Amino acid sequence: MELTPYSPTDYSVTTTDANGQRLPPIRSRTDEAPEYRIHNTRYTLPPSNLARDVSDQQIGDIDSWPANASGGSGAFRSLVLTNQGRLVPVGTNLKGKLDTTHKPRFLAALEEYLYSELKTLGVEDSVANDSRLQVFREIFSTVIDDFKTYKPLLSAIKNEYEMMLTHLNDKINELEPLRQQLVLLSDQCDKKLMQYRKEERADMSLLKEEKKRLQQTIRHITNQNQNLEANIKRLQQEVSHQYELYRKELDSRKLLINDANDLRAQQEQRNEIKEGLDDQGMKKEDTIMMKISLKQARKDLDKALAKITYMEANYNDVVPRRDFVELEVKSNEFVEQIKALQEMIDNQTRELEQMRTQNENLKEDIQNIQREKEELSSKNESGHGGMTPRPAWHLAGEVIDGGVERWQSITANKTSQEKLVSLLNEFTGGGNEDNQSQNGPVPDQLSPRGEGEQVPFHLRSSKSVKNRRLTRRDVAVLIQEIWTERRISNNQDGRTKPLSEFVYEYFRNRYGNHNTAIEMGYSLDYACKRFKHNDNCQLFYQILCGEADEDIYHNTKNLIEQLGERVIKESETHPNGSVTMEQFDAMLKSFLPDKAANDIAELVTAAEKEQPNEEQIALAKLFSVDDEDNYGDFIRILKRQLNEDKQSYIHDVQEKIENSNSVNAKDMEQAIRAVNPHIRNTELVHIVQWIFEAKDGSQIPSMNTHDVLQRLQNGVFYRQHTLSS
């Protein structure tokens, strides 16, 4: 708050010729009312007779008190301050008792006026209120005017209080955004803590599931071992039984072979006898011997047949030797398999023991983790009220200029205290590390640029200019206000002045003098250089210096506003102005027919991410903008697509002119028409004029290819920026 400094008035003590002091002359009540200024606004104090009644004005100025305590001035109602901090008439606080208090008429009139004003405004309670303060300010001003001898001192006291109140209000206004940011960070930290708790619960669930799985595996392996042991016992019994059968069959085969050999020998003897009989003839004398031999042969034959029958009956199931050998080989193989299975069982038994040990260890670890979790939860609950959780610093990258990558670069290997300082510097613009590394400390005075024609209009000064040290938010809000005024001026009178001259006139009209306008111009120019990582500051500075076409801002802004108007108007036919993803996709395809399908899909995805917790898209929120001219993810994606389209457009034109050393206006026009045959004539003329326009406004006949491409980068050069008719 700016207050007019106190200067001696007619009410001050004056000096005589003899260097003595005398009282000032008494002035009439028709004198001018005193006034003071706050923020270039003049406030007039109420006249001194505001709280007087007619009788007081007619009789005199001020009564002596309590000299008239016995007089009749008690007709006025007196006020007292209650224990609850309220001013009430004496009569209302005496519970029907007679009010015998007498006060001067002037004091009674002031109390009467104070009570009536507080009651009229409804601020009788002793609570901080602007209306209540204004009433007391008027009463105090009246007292100052009537006590003329003490008026300079009382006025100085009042001014000091007013200055301190204004200073404290300014401090509150400065700290309010920071408090909101701290509240936001606190909420984000709480959300992150809840996320950690959810992740911890998920990890505990996974550990429990792992424990159950291991227990099932242990049971499964135990059952397999039991089955293997049962199979081993069964195979051992079968092998033993088969081995006994093989031995019996072997013995039977040996007996059968011996009997077969005996029969074969007997048969050979009979054949020899028969041959002898046939060769020599049977003699008569040998007939008896032949009969005896034949009888004996018959007995032997019966015995052999009986033995053969016995062997056939007893050894019919006997297998051949080769089968026995094969079975013996298989038996050996079974034995080897049994040994291998036994080793496998032993290994699995050892593994089972290890898994049981691991299971026991895991159980102990889970119990320890559970105890630690309970202890940490109890500590967290007990210390939650008095402890501040560790902030999620990566979230700051989503709100500062430059994004997450720049935040990581300026806070690498820093402590929490240093990160907090960096975050505060980003909000206030003070001590920015990027700026210090490039431009050194922020100066208090800025060097003049001169007053020549080549100097931008808002920087024409031959004296050093005070640097007002604008913060990043101050610059962003100021740029937004300038653009708003600029668009209003363009709509009313057309664009008749460069942006530099308009900025000077804007500051001149706002602050009322040339020096302040120049200071703000230099401060704005310096701040735009400091905060060049902000896209809005960088574009404004390029346009202000004449390096970029002003229509870049206006065309993009108009496209966003027109698209917003059409989309929001279309959404009015839907409940609550919200649409589904499919409906929003159809709207964009209808209003932006030049865009590719993948660009439309990217815009729809950005809108969905901007409102992640909503089933439908609230279209009005997508086009909302803050006081720094910042939009959400949807509009940022749209701007990025426009820039990508611009770069593709410029690349196609570059291929047409890259073989030429210099380019004139005609060549430029032919190249643009070859790339975009459907371009409007007005748009083509504007592009060519911007490329070949000199700083003094004249036209350059030809330029080299590099300069032409540089001018294209800073001009309005789009291919997919039109809305449907």
- Please report which confidence band the pLDDT of residue 400 belongs to, taking 50, 70 and 90 as the band edges: low
- Whole-angstrom distance between the N-terminal and C-terminal Cα of the chain? 53
Task: Tell me, rounded to whole angstroms, the distance of Cα 48 from its chain centroid.
Answer: 60
**Measured between alpha carbons, how far is 396 from 399 in angstroms, rounded to an integer?**
6
Shared domain for 298 and 261, answered yes or no, is yes
Q: How many residues does the chain have?
A: 725
In a domain, 598, yes or no: yes
Which contiguous run of DSSP H or E holds residue 159? Answer: helix 151-280
Specify the pLDDT at position 101.
55
250, 254, 257, 261: CA torsion to nearest 10: 170
CA distance 334 to 341: 10
Domain co-membership, 565 together with 695: yes
- Helix ranges (H only) for 451-530 are 472-493, 499-511, 514-530
Kindly give the residue spans of alpha helices, DSSP state H, lying in 315-432: 321-383, 403-410, 416-428
pLDDT of 456 above 80 = yes
Identity of the residue numbered 533: H
Up-side HSE of residue 267: CA atoms within 13 Å toward CB?
A: 8
Report whether 425 contacts 479 (CB < 8 A): no
SS3 291: helix
**Range of lowest pLDDT (11-25, 99-113, 151-165, 343-357):** 11-25
CA distances from 23 to 65, 146, 147, 149, 291 (A): 22, 15, 13, 8, 196
Query: Of 547, 563, 588, which one is at a domain's C-terminal end?
Result: 547
Residue 377 lies in a domain: no
Distance CA 424, CA 427 (A): 5
Q: What is the pLDDT of residues 264-302, one digit of tens each?
A: 777 777 677 666 656 655 556 667 777 787 888 888 888
Helix (H, G, I), strand (E, B) or coil at 677: coil
Torsion angle of the four alpha carbons 635, 641, 644, 649, in this order, in degrees rounded to the nearest 10: -120
Q: Which domain covers residue 482, as residue numbers?
A: 429-547
Going by C-alpha positions, the residue among 213, 226, 210, 222 that lies closest to residue 351 is 222
Residues 279, 170, single domain; the answer is: yes
| Helix (H/G/I), strand (E/B), else coil: 79 | strand
Number of domains observed in the structure of the chain: 5
Do 655 and 510 lie in one domain? The reply is no
Inside any domain, residue 387: no
Cβ-based neighbour number of residue 563 at 10 Å: 19
- Whether 153 shows a pLDDT value over 60: the answer reads yes
Residue 10 has pLDDT above 50, yes or no: no
- Structure token pair of residue 530: 């400091």
CA–CA dist 598, 698 (Å, integer): 43
**Residue 24 in contact with residue 148, Cβ under 8 Å?**
yes
* Same domain for 340 and 211: yes
Domain annotation covers residue 685? yes
Kindly report, residue by residue over 77-127, the tens digit of the pLDDT: 455 556 555 555 554 444 444 445 567 888 888 888 888 888 888 888 878
**Residue 724, in any domain of the structure:** no
Q: Return d(Cα 702, Cα 699) in angstroms, integer.
A: 9
Domain for residue 723, yes or no? no
Q: Are residues 27 and 173 in the same domain?
A: no
Report yes or no on 350 lying in a domain: yes
Helix (H) and strand (E) counts for the chain?
22, 12
Alpha-carbon distance 202 to 196, whole Å? 10
In this prediction, residue 217 carries a pLDDT of 87
**CA-to-CA distance for 296 and 273, rounded, in angstroms?**
13
Domain boundary among 123, 149, 175: 149
Can you name the residues that pair with 288 across neighbouring β-strands?
A: none
Query: pTM to 2 decimals?
Result: 0.45
292-336 per-position pLDDT tens digit: 878 888 888 888 888 888 877 776 677 677 877 888 888 888 888
Per-residue model confidence (pLDDT) at position 4: 42
Proportion of the chain above pLDDT 70, given as a percent: 75
Pair (194, 337) in one structural domain: yes
Burial (Cβ within 10 Å: 0-12, 13-18, ≥19) of residue 254: exposed
418 and 501 assigned to the same domain: no
Residues 309, 178, single domain; the answer is: yes
pLDDT greater than 60 at residue 374? yes
Cis peptide before 320 (omega within 30 of 0): no
* Separation between Cα atoms, residue 20 and residue 18, nearest integer Å: 5
Q: Identify the pLDDT of residue 389.
A: 58
Q: For residue 236, is it within any domain? A: yes
Q: CA-to-CA distance for 266 and 260, rounded, in angstroms? A: 10
258 and 110 within one domain = no
pLDDT tens string 461-503: 888 888 888 888 888 899 999 999 988 888 887 878 888 889 9
Spatial separation of the C-alpha atoms in residues 329 and 325, rounded to whole Å = 6
User: Do 351 and 310 sit in the same domain of this protein?
Assistant: yes
Q: What is the pLDDT of the chain when averaged over all its residues?
A: 76
Within this chain, do residues 236 and 201 fall inside the same structural domain, yes or no? yes
* C-alpha distances in Å from residue 582, one per residue of 576, 597, 635, 669: 17, 13, 19, 41
Task: Report the share of the chain in percent with pLDDT over 90.
Answer: 1
Q: Which of 516, 547, 578 is the last residue of a domain?
A: 547
